[in-house]
Amino acid sequence: MIGVDTVPQGPLVDRALAVLREGPVDAVALCAAAFALPGAPPVVAERLASALLGADPRVQRRADGRWGLVAAAAGSPLVEGCAFAVVDCETTGMRATGDDRVTEVAVVLVQGDRREVVFASLVNPGRPIPPMVAAITGISDALVRGAPSFAEIADPLRAALAGRVFVAHNARFDWGFLGAEFRRHTGFALEGPRLCTVRLARRLLRGVGSCGLDNLSQYLGIANEARHRATGDALATARLLEHLVGLARGAGVRTLDDLTALAEGRRPAAAPA
């Protein structure tokens, strides 16, 4: 899977994927091995397989009628060919899997020379926003009262992310919150490549001190007139990404795998020895 997508989750899905990793099987064999339903009629087996796996981008029904895993794309895409979905979330707090919720989310597409906001919305979190958080972000209970719930933005947000490389400044935070919200409201989980500009900056910007967004923006002359708002921070992160990718390519990075390896502290395959 080259880009981000949402995928079904649960023990039945996990068992089905384990079976399919051994090779393609027909629906009857899949039901027997993964669902503990030996001897299921073919029509029933097909319906069960379709209901569970039909929307899963990792799985396909082959021309011969068997179910199998989608073959991985040959090789890693070149960096210049990647579409990056640069994301920022504002939230009620820090606990993605606890009581905290997303209050605003924005996605900026970076692809070649293109930098464009492709999604931005306030989100009604369904719970009070702590006064300290409201003071920092300017997002209050009154501001989100008429905003859509996450369930209402899930489909257009998924479309903005689909097929693109997920990027955020401290990607673990934004990925964690959006993943938790998708699971909570759709029953699906986020899956796909992601890149953290904090980690990438630590590898490429020596002597800069803090790799917080404020410090890096000041260091690189990146204006951000809407700090602690999703669109402002996503646009600033998009400009930071462009700068970092330029440095990485100058250091020999050519593919997405090279770029993620660099961010993770591994030697990129394309980097000079």
Residue 268 lies in a domain: no
Q: Does residue 58 share a domain with residue 120? A: no
> Which structure tokens are listed for 166?
């997920």
> Tens digits of per-residue pLDDT, 236-260?
999 999 999 999 999 999 999 999 9
Would you say 264 and 172 are in contact if contact means Cβ atoms under 8 Å apart?
no
pLDDT class of 88 with cuts at 50, 70, 90: very high
> Tens digits of per-residue pLDDT, 152-180?
999 999 999 999 999 999 999 999 999 99
> Which structure tokens are listed for 83?
């579409």
- Cα–Cα distance, 6 to 29 (Å, whole number): 26
- Cα–Cα distance, 246 to 267 (Å, whole number): 17
Residue identified by tokens 């990027």 is: 167
Q: Which of 168, 1, 29 is nearest to 91 (CA)?
A: 168
Q: Does residue 228 share a domain with residue 147? A: yes
- Number of folded domains in the chain? 2
Burial class (CB in 10 A: 0-12, 13-18, 19+), 220: middle
Q: Which of 162, 143, 154, 165 is nearest to 81 (CA)?
A: 165
Looking at residue 73, what is its pLDDT?
Answer: 47
Looking at residue 2, what is its pLDDT?
Answer: 63
Mean pLDDT over residues 192-199, rounded? Answer: 95
> What range does the domain containing 215 cover?
79-263
Residue identified by tokens 């090279």 is: 258
Q: Does residue 151 share a domain with residue 91? A: yes
Say what the pTM is: 0.81
**CATH number of the domain that residue 111 is part of:** 3.30.420.10
Residue 124 lies in a domain: yes
Q: Which of 222, 250, 247, 266 is nearest to 115 (CA)?
A: 222
Domain boundary among 50, 69, 88: 69
Q: Does residue 168 share a domain with residue 218? A: yes
Q: Does residue 151 share a domain with residue 258? A: yes
- Cα–Cα distance, 159 to 174 (Å, whole number): 17
Q: Does residue 198 share a domain with residue 111? A: yes
> Tens digits of per-residue pLDDT, 4-60?
878 777 888 888 988 988 889 999 999 999 888 898 899 999 998 998 888 787 888
Residue 16 lies in a domain: yes
Q: Does residue 131 share a domain with residue 18? A: no
Judging by DSSP bridges, how do beta strands 5-8 and 188-191 pair with one another?
Answer: antiparallel
Residue 3 lies in a domain: no
| Alpha helix segments (H runs only) across the chain | 11-20, 27-34, 42-53, 131-137, 141-144, 150-161, 171-186, 197-204, 213-220, 230-250, 256-263
Top-confidence residue, 237 or 268: 237
- Cα–Cα distance, 108 to 75 (Å, whole number): 26
Q: Which of 79, 11, 132, 76 is nearest to 254 (CA)?
A: 79
Q: Does residue 32 share a domain with residue 165? A: no
β-bridge partners, 196: 168
